Structures are given as C-alpha cells and as structure tokens.
Amino acid sequence: MSDKEAKKLEKQQTMRHSMAHVMAGAVLKMFPDAKIAIGPAIENGFYYDFDLPRSITPDDLAVIEESMKEIIKARSGFERSVVSKEEARALFADQPYKLELIEELPDSEEISVYQMGDFKDLCRGPHVEDTSRLNPQSFKLLKTAGAYWRGDEKRPMLQRIYGTAFSNPKDLKMHLDHLEEMEKRDHRKLGKELDLFSLHEEAGPGLVYWHPKGARIRIAIEDFWRNEHYKNGYEMVFTPHVGKSWLWETSGHLGFYNESMFQPMEMDKSDYYAKPMNCPFHIMIYNNGKHSYRELPFRWAELGTVYRYEKSGTLHGLMRVRGFTQDDAHIICTPDQVEDEILEVLRFSLFMLRSFGFEDISAYLSTMPEKSVGDKKDWDLATESLRKAIEKEGLEYGVDEGGGAFYGPKIDLKVKDTMGREWQLSTVQFDFNLSERFDMVFVDKDGKEKRPFMIHRALLGSIERFFGVLVENFGGAFPVWLCPVQAMVIPVSAKFDDYAKEVEKSFRAAGIRVETDFSDERMNAKIRNAQNQKIPYMIVVGENEMNEKAVSIRVRTGEQKNGLPMNDAVQMILDKIELKELP
RNA sequence: GCCUCUGUAGCUCAGUCGGUAGAGCACAUCCAUGGUAAGGAUGGGGUCACCGGUUCAAGUCCGGUCGGAGGCUCCA
C-alpha cells in the first residue's frame, strides 16, 4: 500500500470512529439510561456496543439515523481533554463498562475524553475536528447484533449496532451495491435456485445433500483432482469412516480434540468414533509393513469424509458443516526429501487453485509456538523448507510467529475471489506428533530405524467449502468444464424435435453434458429458463438449422453465433472445456 | 452455546383490529406450434414448524420446544 493510500485509509477510519460517537450520542438521546461500551471503526464502517433497557428494532435504526443526521448538522466539535484517572472515574461514574476500561488503563497512559455536543466518551481518538467533516448522506446503519462484552461468552450480552460510512455518497452507494451483489451470489441462495444441494434440519443440521446438478460439478472437480494427483506422483487410498477408541487414544484426538468429535457408538463392548480426520488411518496403512528409505516418499491421497461436531450457531451453508470431505493427502518422507516435497506440494497447490480461476493467492507461514512437540532441529528444517518454497514460488506472504499448531509448522494459502473476499483453502502442515505417537519408522541406509517426516496437506480444503466458494466466486455461472449442463438444445417448435434429438446425440457422443428442452413452452421461455440456469450454450435448432445440418448458438453472455456446422459447434465447446474457460 | 430477528403451498412472499388461508412462480391437463429472457385457460396442492395456554373463536395474542438468518478476538 502506498503512503497516500495509507493516509486516506487512516482519515477514513478517523471519520468512521467519529461516526460511531455520533451514533452513541443519538442512542443516548433515545435511551438516556443506556450503558455504552466500545465503538471502533471497522472495515467499511463502524459499530458501537450498548447495554439497553430493551432491544433495538429495525424501526429504531431509522430513528437513530435521523437523529444522527441532526447531530451532524448541529456542527459540534470533538473537544479533547486529558483527565486524571480520578477525574475519569467521576466523569463516567454511571458507565460501568467505561469504569472497567479506566481501571485497566496503565498509569503511564494519558486518559483522554472527547466531548461532542452533550455526548462525552472515554476515547483515545483521534477524531475529526467537528461534525461538519461528516457527511450525513454517506452513512447508513445496517443491522443490530448481539455481542458479548469483550467477546467473552461469560460476560453480559450487549447490543451492537453496525453502520457503514464513506467519505462521499457515491462510495457509500458502491458499497451498498457490493453488499447486494454478495447477497445475490450467496451460495445458499444459488444452491437452491440452481438445484445444486440441500441441507435438512430434520435429518441432521450441517449435513449436505448433493443433488444431481451439484454432484455433476463435484464429480468434475474430483475427477480432475484424481487425475492430477496421479500425474503428480500420488496414490489413492480409501479408509473407513469410523475407528475404535484405540485409534483415537493413540492419536491423542480423544484428549485434545474430543469436543469436536461426534459421540461414540458402542458395538461389541468397544466405542467407535466417526473420524474427524483421516491421518490415523493413513498411518495404519503405513505401519502395516516395514519400510525402507528406498520406498519413500509415499504420497497418499484420499477424498476422505470426516465428521466434526461444530456448535449449532456456527453452522453456515456449505462453508461450515458437520460432515465434509477433505481433499486430503499425507506425504511420508525422509528428512533429506522434505525440501523437494514441500516445493512440489506448493507448486501443485498453486496449479490446482489457478485451474479453478483463482489468480490472486497469498501465503501465511505459521511457526513454532511456545508449547510444541518434536525436535527443535526438525521444526527448523520444516519451517525453512516452507519458507524457501514460498520464496521460490514468488508468493506474497505473511508470517505468524509462534502461530503454528503444537505438532508442526504450516503454510496456509488464501485466495481472493472476484468479490475481493479472501478464503483460506490450501494448507500444508507438518506433523511431529502423530509420527511419534504411532511410532512410525523407516529403515535408513545404515540399517537403523529412523522417524520419517509426515506432512499433512489439503489443496482445496474441503470439497463442500470449496464448492461454496466456487459458487460465490462465479455467481453460479461456472466455467464450462464445471457446468452441470454444458449445452441445452432448444427446438424452435415441436416440429424440430427429431433434429434436436439428433443434435443432442452428437453432442453427447462427443462427451458434452447436454440436454434438450422438449417442453411445450415457446422458444422465448426456453431461452429464459436456460439463461436462468446459467447454462453456457443454448443450441437453437429450427428450420434453417435442420436444412443445413447446422446449429445456432446463443451463448450465456448474450453472444450469438448462427448457422454453425454441427462439428464446429462441438469442437468450440470441447475447446472451452479443455481450456477450463468461461464461455 | 449466547443475543437479536425469523419460521404461512416445492420456491418467493401477502395475510389489517383475533372471525376457519391467499398471490406469483413451479407442477398437472388442455388450447396455441412458436426464431433469441415469461403465450393463454383450467386444475391439484397448506395440521399456517411443533407443544401448551388465553379466548365463544388463534396463522394472528402469551409461554415453551425445535429449526433458519445475522452477530458474538477489528478493544477506551
């Protein structure tokens, strides 16, 4: 970010923070007994938390907005004054949350108070000089929400009011349009409209049902995924969905992961658990025999479906579910193979993400935390390999020092979608814990048993979540290779049904996913239906086409190609599929 | 889990002051046989999430249960 941009952002954040004060002032006018908590500027806006005698309704928001406009028009200044702790206590005697904050302020720090009209607030600042710097036309209160005091679920629940604010009405409008567009692209909405998947509360929240069209897309993803894995030196494995408690005791999951696991089912006096991870199973395969250094590395991949108990309030469409399929793999290798393996994994990962149209990718490296298992020496080797790989690939990256899991360092890859949102997809993680717990060994050149490195990685993360991200990224208008229906044949009238069948047959024989609309709708309606289903190619056939053994194509984009020889049309679509392009 | 909002036909939603449920889309049947984003008519479809209460009467009011949505680590 340039200095100029940083400065602009800072100015904007100051404006938003002042906006939060104006809102708090308006709320206090409405509820003189309100207890105020904190109100910072956030991305795109601001919020303020209140303890109120009753809950805020959407109607209240409109009233508060009007009241804010009046406060702004009154043109009051933001007067800063510095007070002693004692004075601060007196000033905010009837504001318990503020008092708590005052008590926690270190003595070294100056305590400042900002007075804006009747409203005074304990605040570090800075603020705009006076409210004439705020534009009453370029903010909007968006929603209310519950929020715990200091994010702690044991503390009181406050009411938070979110607002958005920009320096001018045009930017505000752009942001509101952006929000609207995101709503349109919501994968839950599109999932329904395009008949891709469903969730059923009565059959178990957080468990996904893939409809035929969604399954088509998923299989396209998975087929590509498997093929590329074979090309990249992986083998596929399949492992069970449940395992006895021995397995989870050995792995340690019953100790540190118990809360996230489904309750056990008892059978033959043993407890079986649905798997929350695939790793122990892959290790069972490894430990089934003795392995020489000559065999390594092993790269074992599995689209492994795991079950995790997520709190009901955190479930969200496909993004956060209780049963999902990881595109998992474990690489088991010798210490001197680590560097190459990591580089290859990273390359592969970038290749996969780019294949799905994600170009804006950044990396995050998480290093050794205070509490960890494994040798410092191994951590260093692993961490350095990760760092080298990122640098070699020329990725932008951030480092989370001490942010790794206790069992190993990791890289996470984040992609930015077309809406500018970041999603964490790939993760490459070392595991010094499981190799130890399961006593994994290989026989080295010197005949001695040594501990291999185990690397856990997922490229897409989970198929469910990745699918959700794809739906939102493309707004349901997928690249041709992913479309459940790639071409819809539309006979102009029933007279041409036979020719339509012939066309459909040719397209299908070429490997294109094609359907024909034989309904007794008019052609206009058929086009509309196909367009709403975001089908990339509408193959219109009527008298002209039949006579010339040709087709006319209406592309989803609105582009029109008339009288194409059938073979040319087929080839054009095959090319788009091959190149993984949008139509 | 907690707070707020919310649950009416497959979908999107209307339903006033409590008086026994409605629209559009979708679906079915029929008519129309059509040239680039909705042709017309008719019809079927609802324990108003569930349980309880108030009432002569509850989709509507009250309480509870179960879902769904937004939010709950951006720190005066």
Asked whether residue A528's C-beta has any atom of DNA/RNA strand B within 7 A, the reply is yes
Burial A414-450 (b: 16+ CB within 10 A, else e): bbebeeeeebebbbbbbbbbbbebbebbbebeeeeee
**Cβ neighbours for A544, distance < 8 A, ≥ 6 positions apart:** A550, A552, A563
Asked whether residue A311's C-beta has any atom of DNA/RNA strand B within 7 A, the reply is yes
Find which nucleotide's C1' atom is closest to A494's CA. Answer: B33
**pLDDT at residue A56, as a whole number:** 79
d(CA A215, CA A193): 15
Phi, psi of A231 (to 5 degrees): -60, -30
pLDDT, mean of residues A380-402: 93
| pLDDT tens digits, one per residue of A483-533 | 999 999 999 999 999 999 999 999 999 999 999 999 989 999 999 999 999
Give the closest residue to A349 by CA, choosing from A228, A504, A188. A228
Find which nucleotide's C1' atom is closest to A316's CA. Answer: B69
Distance A526 CA to B38 C1' (A): 9
CA-CA distances (angstroms) from residue A465 to A243, A327, A474? 25, 11, 14
Asked whether residue A81's C-beta has any atom of DNA/RNA strand B within 7 A, the reply is no
Q: Write down which residues 153-172 in A have CB closer than 7 A to strand B.
A: 153, 157, 159-160
| pLDDT tens digits, one per residue of A404-444 | 888 999 999 999 988 888 888 999 999 999 999 999 999 99
Q: In chain A, what percentage of residues exceed pLDDT 70?
A: 99
pLDDT, mean of residues A122-144: 87
**pLDDT at residue A139, as a whole number:** 92
Find which nucleotide's C1' atom is closest to A147's CA. Answer: B72
Phi, psi of A412 (to 5 degrees): -110, 140
| pLDDT tens digits, one per residue of A181-196 | 888 898 988 998 999 9
Q: What average pLDDT is seen over chain A?
A: 91
Find which nucleotide's C1' atom is closest to A189's CA. Answer: B11
Distance A212 CA to B49 C1' (A): 28
pLDDT, mean of residues A298-321: 88
* CA diameter of chain A: 94
**pLDDT at residue A164, as a whole number:** 92
pLDDT over threshold 90, residue A153? no
Nucleotides of B under 7 A from a protein CB: 1-5, 11-12, 27, 30-39, 66-76
**pLDDT at residue A117, as a whole number:** 84
Q: Look-up: residue for tokens 């893939």?
A: A210
Asked whether residue A183's C-beta has any atom of DNA/RNA strand B within 7 A, the reply is no
Distance A502 CA to B30 C1' (A): 29
Strands (E), A207-311: 208-210, 235-236, 242-244, 265-267, 270-274, 298-307
pLDDT, mean of residues A94-99: 89
According to DSSP, the residues that pair with A141 across neighbouring strands are: A163
Give the H/E segment covering residue A64.
Answer: helix A58-73
Asked whether residue A111's C-beta has any atom of DNA/RNA strand B within 7 A, the reply is yes
Distance A205 CA to B11 C1' (A): 21
Burial class from Cβ neighbours inside 10 Å (0-12, 13-18, 19+) for residue A459 reads buried
* Ramachandran bin of A388, using left for φ above 0, alpha for ψ from -120 to 50, beta for the remaining angles: alpha
Listed in sequence order, the DSSP H helices in A232-272 are 245-251, 253-256
Give the closest residue to A20 by CA, choosing from A61, A48, A49, A56. A48
> What one-character-per-residue DSSP string does A546-577 give?
HHHTEEEEEETTS-EEEEEEHHHHHHHHHHHH
| Lowest model confidence (mean pLDDT) among A412-421, A459-468, A474-483 | A412-421
pLDDT over threshold 90, residue A456? yes
pLDDT, mean of residues A80-86: 88
Dihedral over alpha carbons A464, A467, A471, A476 (to 10 degrees): -110
Higher pLDDT among residues A1 and A364, named by residue = A364
- Under the banding of pLDDT at 50, 70 and 90, the label for residue A278 is very high
The pairing of strands A298-307 and A323-333 is antiparallel
Give the closest residue to A167 by CA, choosing from A315, A384, A8, A49. A8
Q: In the numeric block, which tokens belong to residue A327?
A: 């595109």
Dihedral over alpha carbons A127, A131, A133, A134 (to 10 degrees): 100
Distance A557 CA to B22 C1' (A): 38
- Under the banding of pLDDT at 50, 70 and 90, the label for residue A2 is low
d(CA A418, CA A479): 14
Asked whether residue A421's C-beta has any atom of DNA/RNA strand B within 7 A, the reply is no
d(CA A207, CA A228): 28
d(CA A84, CA A455): 55
Based on C-alpha coordinates, what's the Rg of chain A? Answer: 30
**Residue closest to sugar C1' of B10 by CA:** A192
ipTM: 0.86
Give the closest residue to A352 by CA, choosing from A257, A241, A455, A231. A231
Active site residues of A: 279, 308, 326, 328, 330, 410, 456
Give the closest residue to A122 by CA, choosing from A84, A74, A171. A84
**pLDDT at residue A130, as a whole number:** 86
According to DSSP, the residues that pair with A140 across neighbouring strands are: A164
Distance A319 CA to B28 C1' (A): 38
pLDDT, mean of residues A204-223: 92
Asked whether residue A313's C-beta has any atom of DNA/RNA strand B within 7 A, the reply is yes
Asked whether residue A108's C-beta has any atom of DNA/RNA strand B within 7 A, the reply is no
Distance A167 CA to B32 C1' (A): 57
Find which nucleotide's C1' atom is closest to A158's CA. Answer: B3
pLDDT over threshold 60, residue A1? no
**pLDDT at residue A149, as a whole number:** 87
Sheet holding A119-122, edge to edge: A79-83, A111-116, A119-122
Find which nucleotide's C1' atom is closest to A143's CA. Answer: B70
Contact A253, A281 (CB under 8 A): no
CA-CA distances (angstroms) from residue A329 to A34, A415, A427? 54, 20, 11
**Residue closest to sugar C1' of B76 by CA:** A123
